[in-house]
Amino acid sequence: MEITLKQEITELLESTKREGIKNLIKDLSERGFFESPASTRFHGAYDGGLLEHSHNVYILFNRFVRELRQDIKINKDSVILCSLLHDVCKAGMYIKDGDKFLFNQQFRGKGHARLSLEIIEKHIYLNLQEKNIILFHMGYYGTTGFNQRGEYSLMDLAEANKEPLTKLFYWCDDMSSQFID
């Protein structure tokens, strides 16, 4: 029997054994995470695109963490959680209209990464490294983003990018959205 992407991602999340993970998975399912698109017209703009994008980021981030440098300090659970959950706010963010998706206006003005953190942290604990990787996963784009002020300043981003993993994760997310999804 072939394992589905939803099953694989559910198993990866459960493998972290993080307290509250099963409740988070249930919440994600109820929000439509496993069926949602990743965007309205860019990467993953199709049913299930968010799931595929999250998985692609996991594949890239996991590979580069293992292969690039031995002194990179991040545990396997953090790689799984950051990769698979960085965009959970997008579940329900787009509404299907015929053969395209439109932005759900109820999300207007809400910060992309901060909203993902809010959803995740209702269920599980994230350490500071995980929070920063998720918060800054959009790199420069997070300085303008979903609201006029952006999610963080360029100064905040410059400080966050002193941590190689934050920069690496942004790169994996961007590579996935630009070249894979």
pLDDT digit string, tens, across residues 117-145:
999 999 999 999 999 999 999 887 777 65
Q: Is residue 148 part of a domain?
A: yes
Number of compact structural domains in the chain: 1
Tokens of 135: 């918060």
Sequence-ordered list of residues with C-beta below 8 angstroms from that of 117, at least 6 positions apart, any chain? 126, 131, 134, 135
Range(s) of the domain holding residue 129: 5-176
pLDDT digit string, tens, across residues 35-44:
998 877 777 7
Distance CA 12, CA 43 (A): 23
Confidence of residue 1 (pLDDT cuts 50, 70, 90): low
Confidence of residue 109 (pLDDT cuts 50, 70, 90): low
Tokens of 68: 């690039």
pTM: 0.89
pLDDT digit string, tens, across residues 41-99:
777 778 889 999 999 999 999 999 988 877 778 999 999 999 999 999 989 888 788 88
Q: Is residue 109 part of a domain?
A: yes
Q: Is residue 22 part of a domain?
A: yes
Bigger pLDDT: 94 or 31? 31
